[in-house]
Amino acid sequence: MPRFAANLGYLFTERPLIERFGAAAAAGFAAVELQFPYDLAPAAVKAELDKHGLIQLGINTLRGRDGEFGLAALPGRERDWDAIFKQALDYAVAIGARAIHCMTGVVPVEQRPAAETVFVKNLARGAEAAAKHNITLLIEPINPRDRAGYFLSRVEHAADIVAKVGAPNVRIQFDFYHIQIVGGDLITRFEKYLPVIGHAQIAAVPTRAEPDEGEINYPAVFAAMDRLGYNGFIGCEYRPRARTEDGLGWAKPYGVVPKRS
Candidate list 33, 116, 140, 210, residue with the active-site label: 140
Residue 227: CB atoms within 10 Å? 10
Question: Taking the CA atoms of the chain, what radius of gyration do you get in angstroms?
Answer: 17
Q: Among this protein's residues, is 237 annotated catalytic?
A: yes
For residues 80 and 76, give the distance between their C-alpha atoms in angstroms, rounded to a whole number.
Answer: 9
User: 181: Cβ–Cβ under 8 A, 6 or more apart, which residues?
Assistant: 143, 145, 146, 205, 206
Q: Among this protein's residues, is 140 annotated catalytic?
A: yes
Instruction: State the amino acid at position 246 in one-letter form.
Output: D
Measured N-to-C along each axis, helices 186-193 and 218-228 cross at an angle, to the nearest 10 degrees, of 20
Q: Is 84 helix (H, G, I), strand (E, B) or coil?
A: helix
Q: Is 58 helix (H, G, I), strand (E, B) or coil?
A: strand
Burial degree of 198 (CB within 10 A; 0-12, 13-18, 19+): buried
Q: Which stretches of the chain are assigned E, i.e. beta strand?
A: 3-7, 31-33, 55-56, 58-60, 99-101, 136-139, 170-175, 197-202, 233-236
Known catalytic residues are 140, 237
